[in-house]
Structures are given as structure tokens and as C-alpha cells.
Amino acid sequence: GAVVSQHPSRVICKSGTSVKIECRSLDFQATTMFWYRQFPKKSLMLMATSNEGSKATYEQGVEKDKFLINHASLTLSTLTVTSAHPEDSSFYICSASRGAPGANVLTFGAGSRLTVL
Amino acid sequence: GDSVTQMEGPVTLSEEAFLTINCTYTATGYPSLFWYVQYPGEGLQLLLKATKADDKGSNKGFEATYRKETTSFHLEKGSVQVSDSAVYFCALTATDSWGKLQFGAGTQVVVTP
């Protein structure tokens, strides 16, 4: 079946540094990927929609300059948290779409836990 | 805006017990409704879905019926197993926002032998 891999699964960094999280579709091409953020005991919040070869579309309230999203190929999207601060500590999850738009066939990665000291 | 509310956990059950997780939603139009499951250390997996009123989604012994009159999509299973221990998320996507899922907070289910 379809597999989406996220790397790293856990990362700890110092405040002020930048961290890159990768989301790869391993056995299918994903024209669209979605990035979510999950706070402890809270639901997943959609951050942005990433389309291959074009700029990401950010949800209201999400700082596009802090959360840089790149979708350079049909199998890879990256989320870079720039100048990270402790409040950016969270669980980041990506999903990738396969099939025609509207088919709602989404595959999720296992998530990446970011801790900013 | 659209929202999903589901019962808080954790829900602790004995094996072979009946499981119900309540989910209600607020949305304009006719959303599609989903239940996702997240096993420890794994990504979210689609458990079942329903795309229109009165549809029943089912998978692995789990069922949920799209009830427009009560804006609900409660998840049920008649006899749970220890392997059903996971976090369950109710979610919706609006008809014009394909792929953009609105999730509930998740309900942790713990099944004991």
C-alpha cells in the first residue's frame, strides 16, 4: 500500500535555529501534500497545502515566513521551521494525496516531534 | 467555520466490550465525514468514511452512520480487541475543500485483556 515517510521522527534544537522536516511518498506520486500541526491533547490543525511546483497555500494565522514549505518534486515536500522558538515545539504531520482530486485518498506520515529548547 | 467535536478520552474497556465514540460536527453544505485511527508510532490511517447523509461507513468491525439531522457520525464496534487500542479521530472535509481535513481532538481508546 501507499506509504508516506517523515524524517526526522524526533528532533531537538536550540532556540533560534532552523529545522527541516521531510515528507516523502515512497511508492506513489503526490501532486498535493498537506502539513498539519498537533498540540498535546488537541486536534490536528491544517497549516498549509503544498502543490508540486508551486507556492504553498497557507491557512489563516500560519506565518509563511516562519514555516517554509517546498514541494520540489512529486515525492517530496519539506517543512522548514525558521528561527525556531519553544512555542514552535509540536508534532508536525504531513499527508499526501493520491488519485484524482475529490477522491479523498490521503496517506499520512507518522509525524515528526519537534522540541525547541 | 467548520468544526468537529468528539468525546474526550481516554476510554478504557475490557476485551469484547462494546465501543462507542461520539462525534458531532458543524459545517455548511454537505461535508464528507471520516474516522481515522492512529496506532502507537504510526501515521493516521483511514478507518471508514461516509460522503452523504444516511451513508454507513464500515471497516474492521467498526461502523458509523452519517446523520444529518443530528449532525453526528458516531463510531461503534460491537466487540473490541486489545489490538483496537489506539487514538481515533473524527474528521470532515467540506465539499469545496478537498483534502483539507478538519479534525476532532482525538479519543484514546485502551482495551485491556
Q: Please determine, for residue A101, whether its predicted confidence score (pLDDT) is greater than 70.
A: no
* Dihedral sign from CA coordinates of B103, B105, B108, B109: negative
Longest dimension (CA), chain A: 42
Q: Is B57 on the interface with A (CB under 8 A)?
A: no
Inform me whether the pLDDT recorded for B97 exceeds 80.
no
Q: What is the mean pLDDT of residues B38-52?
A: 89
Taken in order A19, B46, B98, A103, is the CA torsion positive or negative? positive
Any B CB within 8 A of A48 CB: no
pLDDT tens profile A64-83? 999 999 988 889 999 999 99
Chain-wide mean pLDDT for chain A?
90
CB contacts, 8 Å: B43 with chain A: 4, 6, 93, 107-111
Residue with cell 492512529: B38
Residue A100 has what DSSP assignment? S
